[in-house]
Amino acid sequence: MKIISLTKISEFHACQWEAELEDGNFLYARVRYDRLTIGIGESPQKAMRNGISFPVVDTYVVRPDWEEAYSTQEILRKFNRHGYDCSKINAEQVEAEYKDVSI
């Protein structure tokens, strides 16, 4: 599946991202307590619900420091590892847009 847009929505308590997929579905990903979950749905709300209740990916990630936010660069590596094509996504731009909104 190809990710065509990615937005970081939170790095407080849990690092979270929303994405739009090429097939029209949405993806929700969150890293909380070193656990990555990914949900897919027809809307961002359904993707989030599925990510919490019925994740398509539910795995542990290793972070050297729990105090630091999980980076977009790292989440893109995880997406690639789980079969999501994010070649069009620029991690630095996603982070910059998140920082601009959160100020």
Query: Residue 28 and residue 13: Cα distance in Å, rounded?
Result: 16
Q: How confident is the model at residue 98 (pLDDT cuts 50, 70, 90)?
A: very high
Element (H, E) at 19: strand 15-21
Please provide residue 99's backbone torsions phi and psi, each rounded to the nearest 5 degrees.
Answer: -65, -40
2-45 residue pLDDT tens: 999 999 999 988 899 999 999 999 999 999 988 999 999 999 99
Strand partners, 10: 16
CB 38 within 8 A of CB 53: no
Q: Please give the pLDDT value at position 81.
A: 94
SS3 (DSSP) at 31: strand
- Longest CA–CA span in the chain (Å) reads 36
Q: What global pTM score does this model have?
A: 0.92
